[in-house]
Amino acid sequence: EQIIVKLREAEVFESKGLTQLEAAKKLGIAEQTLIRWR
């Protein structure tokens, strides 16, 4: 459940123009973790 929440938050950040790396940093996770979750 927590992963789903973070994935949705990442989508919101990216829709606002942030890169995948910037979104991951805002969520406090590594970019590679975000990629793996997707």
What pLDDT is recorded for position 13?
98
Give the three-class secondary structure for 18: coil
Q: Which residue has the higher pLDDT, 1 or 10?
A: 10
Phi, psi values for residue 16, rounded to 5°: -90, 5
Q: Using one digit for the tens of pLDDT, what is the confidence trace for 5-21?
A: 999 999 999 999 999 99
> Rounded to the nearest 5°, which phi and psi values hold at 17?
100, 0
- The whole-number pLDDT of residue 29 equals 97
Angle of the 20-27 helix axis to the 2-15 helix axis, nearest 10: 130
Tell me what pLDDT residue 7 has.
98
pTM of the model: 0.83
Question: Residue 25 burial by CB count (10 A; 0-12/13-18/19+): exposed, middle or buried?
Answer: middle
